[in-house]
A and B are shown apart, each in its own frame.
Chain A
Amino acid sequence: MTSVVRHAVVGFDWFVLVYFVLLNSGYLVLIAIASMDVARWMRRFSFAGHDDIFANPLTPGVSVLVPAFNEELSIVESAHAMLAVKYPEFEVIIVDDGSTDATFERLRTAFDLVEVERVIPNDVPTIGAVRSVHAPADGGPLLVVRKDNAGRRADPLNVGLNAARLPLVCMVDADSLLEEESLLRVVKPFIDDHRVVATGGAIRAANGSTVERGRVVDATMPRSWIERVQVLEYLRSFLLGRTGWSRLGALLIISGAFGVFRRDVVVEVGGLDLETLGEDAELVTRIHRMTSEQGRDFRVAFVAEPVCWTEVPHSGAILSRQRRRWSQGLAEILWKHRRMILNPHYGRIGLVALPYYFLFELIGPIVELTGVPIVALGLAFGLVDPAFALVVVAVALGYGMFVSLSALAVEEFSFHRYRRWRDLGTGILAAMVENVGYRQLHAWWRLQGIWRFVRRKETGWGVMTRAGFNLAAQD
């Protein structure tokens, strides 16, 4: 009997070992690919570069869509920052998603808004009705659309999409901080390659950095460990991970905080999915799907130079809620597009990206949470060779630290946004902490998110409405 148990435990331990080797090696491959890209970008012949895009008549106009729900504290500053962006032709459309606070009033006062007539077609489906449209009395590229809240994050974005008039749309969170040249950088792939239909910009954690008039002027590591760890995480996954995927032609997730799409293509696929939590990633997946199914030659690109800063959650409660939501959203996407998984008809997205996410983002949390405890148990009961057990744990944690450090190294070697020695030291420590404690917690939250998805599938759509509304209200 014990020999069966022993074999089971040892077998599982081997599985855990292989899993972590694969996971971290996969990351290293992505980082290596990304760093080659970044190294090339580093040889900047940038005297011309972005000034040329500014002056280029081919540069398409961009409608910046900003969904806003109860953002009275920061909406005016955000609006000012977005209006001051360096770009030749753009409009900023703020969609007030039925805010119950002073969001609209603050905007009205700050910009002297008057109600205007504006024809908004129904190019993509929406739910909440549009109540009124406002613009500054003395002109300017700002539009504020007031609508009823419909309990979905994608609804204000779809309304903004309908109201948008320029060839490109950029979806930004109300509290994101764009850099002055963000739009120029993130539009560049569209100009250089006419097949590009969507681009994502890198998101960085702004916590702890100096912000002036809506711009990050000096990047510093934040004070709390929970924020520091996220800085590392964003570097590894969101910056380098996505650059790597982009190079492989299999970029799936353009972060919700900052993505630019061709408006006509988004309309063609039907806009954002109103019932999904990961609406932006789902949109990209659907675009990839259309690309394969219709034989179109579309590309999705990623711009690695940091272009968008966001305040990451500083409390465990908010962070856990966010990660649960992301995990649930990912599960929804994988379920909705399950026919694409391991289907060669869908190219690299189907064969590489989606299976990767399924294995490491969906199944992964289970392994992360059970792996080390079972190894420890096996050790305690004398079922496993101590050296072997030690190796498994070391690989699980140590290899992970190595990956995080690599990400930090690439940042140091290239973008070099964190200038102080102290920040480098903090970063190294955070790379360690990230793998011992944070990752396991994160796995637990992700598991909860997946569980919610499964429950929702069983109980149906009604539960989702209320839950969705609450999420919207609380965030």
Chain B
Amino acid sequence: MTLASSFVAALVAISVLLVVLTVATAGRKAVRAARDRRGARVEAAVRPALLGYLAEDEPDPAALEITSRAAGRSLEELSTGLLTKLRGEDRRALERLLAAHGVLESARERTRRPGAVGRARAAELLGAAAHEPALPELTMLLEDRDPDVRSAAARALGKLGDPAAVPALLTALEGRRTVPAGVVTMGLLHIGPTAAASLVDGLDSRYSPAARAIAAELLGRLGGFQSADELIGALRADPDPGVRAAAARALGRMGVPRAVAPLEAALIEEQVPAVRYSTTWALGELGGTRGLAGLAAALGSGDHALARHAADALVACGPSGRALLERIADAGGPGAPEARETLGAVGAAR
């Protein structure tokens, strides 16, 4: 009987839990609604003032009054959103406003305090405002305990635009406290062409394969022309196929003429399909007549995907490439179907 009665107690407990959970859910909904309303009220006061300030021809920072902490938080949130949408003089006016109210300084302070949400939002604001003095704090946040804070710091460093952050960003790809590859890439891209000089170092073997691959990829996209020799070296000798493929693409994207020979050699020697596709594409981008032989061989190789890439690359090579493609299409045999398909697509595009 005592066993049964303890079970009855369990039954009661479950019912109580059910009720509690229902109440908690409804309660949370109510609390959320109330908080949203409160926040909306504060925002309804701050927002017009802020937009009115921005609408002025000669905005005066002192004219905008922030009277409460809630209003200050509202200002920070609104500004973070607006900063990403503006450029030019209006954006500078907003930055001046934030500086005048000490908002950016207190954001720097908050990067050192407990509370991951606060640290991440502070990083976000500093990035949105491109506040250069915050570089040391943001670099430190790249190794923060919380992954969201680390990501926010990486994005902010990108917006800051200082190439000094490049090594730290590349290092953040590996180790105990990592930043996702996508975030690092976007950060580096935001820094822009000035990052190219530092990215060349990223090809060095002391960085992880992921870092080297991203460095190679971005050198191509940011126009790191001075790194052509290092990229050719990576294409020839880097142990990781992802890096070799990225190096090939970068050389093609930048249009480095002396890369044709190493690319042709790679096309013959490479075993990894992904690298061969990238090499083929790069030869197409470099154009001209020098890569045609290698591409024709790839077209007839029997590997369907490679043949397709080769056909596209031949078209990209210009009239002599087209002519070669047409000959192969007419001759039949390996590569002809892919050649016909590519020619058909080109014809339709006219």
**Interface footprint category on B:** 35 or more
Contacting chain B: which of A39-47, A150-158, A309-317, A457-465? A39-47
Whether the pair A409, B186 counts as a contact (CB closer than 8 A) is no
A211 within 8 A of B: no
In Å, the complex CA distance between A405 and B20 comes to 11
B11 within 8 A of A: yes
Given known pairs A387-B5, A399-B14, the reply for A52 and B26 (CB within 8 Å) is: no
Q: Smallest CB-CB separation from A425: which chain B residue?
A: B26
Partner of A57, one of B121, B185, B340: B185
A84 within 8 A of B: no
Residues of B within 8 A of A119 (CB): 304, 308, 337-338, 341
Whether the pair B25, A194 counts as a contact (CB closer than 8 A) is no
A428 within 8 A of B: yes
In Å, the complex CA distance between A194 and B152 comes to 21
In Å, the complex CA distance between A388 and B2 comes to 11
In Å, the complex CA distance between A80 and B271 comes to 40
Kindly provide the distance from the CB of A46 to the nearest chain B CB, expressed in whole angstroms.
10
Contacting chain B: which of A322-330, A331-339, A389-397? A389-397
A58 within 8 A of B: yes
Residues of A within 8 A of B349 (CB): 139
Given known pairs A398-B14, A406-B21, the reply for A191 and B180 (CB within 8 Å) is: yes
Please encode chain B, from 131 to 175, with 1 for each CB lying within 8 Å of some chain A CB and 0 for all others. 000000000000000001001100100000000000000000000
Give chain A's interface secondary structure class: helix
Given known pairs A56-B182, A117-B340, A194-B181, the reply for A405 and B22 (CB within 8 Å) is: yes
Within 8 A of A (CB), among B208-254: 210, 214, 217-218, 221
Within 8 A of A (CB), among B293-326: 304-305, 308
B63 within 8 A of A: no
In Å, the complex CA distance between A409 and B26 comes to 9
Kindly provide the distance from the CB of A169 to the nearest chain B CB, expressed in whole angstroms.
14
Whether the pair A117, B341 counts as a contact (CB closer than 8 A) is yes
Residues of A within 8 A of B183 (CB): 52, 192
Residues of A within 8 A of B21 (CB): 402, 405-406, 409
Whether the pair B186, A394 counts as a contact (CB closer than 8 A) is no
Please encode chain A, from 185 to 217, with 1 for each CB lying within 8 Å of some chain B CB and 0 for all others. 000100111100000000000000000000000
Residues of A within 8 A of B14 (CB): 394-395, 398-399, 402
Residues of A within 8 A of B341 (CB): 116-119
Whether the pair B7, A55 counts as a contact (CB closer than 8 A) is no
A240 within 8 A of B: no
A30 within 8 A of B: no
Whether the pair A424, B29 counts as a contact (CB closer than 8 A) is yes
Whether the pair B26, A58 counts as a contact (CB closer than 8 A) is no
B117 within 8 A of A: yes
Kindly provide the distance from the CB of A426 to the nearest chain B CB, expressed in whole angstroms.
13
Whether the pair B152, A45 counts as a contact (CB closer than 8 A) is yes
Whether the pair A117, B344 counts as a contact (CB closer than 8 A) is yes
Kindly provide the distance from the CB of A120 to the nearest chain B CB, expressed in whole angstroms.
9
B28 within 8 A of A: yes
Residues of A within 8 A of B348 (CB): 116, 137, 139
- Across chains A and B, which 6 residue pairs bring their CB atoms closest together, nearest first? A192-B180, A191-B182, A391-B7, A387-B4, A121-B304, A52-B186
Chain B residues with CB under 8 Å of chain A are 4-5, 7-8, 10-11, 14-15, 17-18, 21-22, 24-26, 28-29, 32, 80-81, 84, 116-117, 120-121, 124, 128, 148, 151-152, 155, 180-183, 185-186, 189, 210, 214, 217-218, 221, 304-305, 308, 337-338, 340-341, 344-345, 348-349
- Identify 11 residue pairs between A and B in the complex whose beta-carbon atoms are under 8 Å apart, listed by A's number: A45-B124, A45-B152, A55-B186, A57-B217, A117-B340, A390-B11, A391-B11, A395-B10, A398-B14, A402-B14, A416-B32
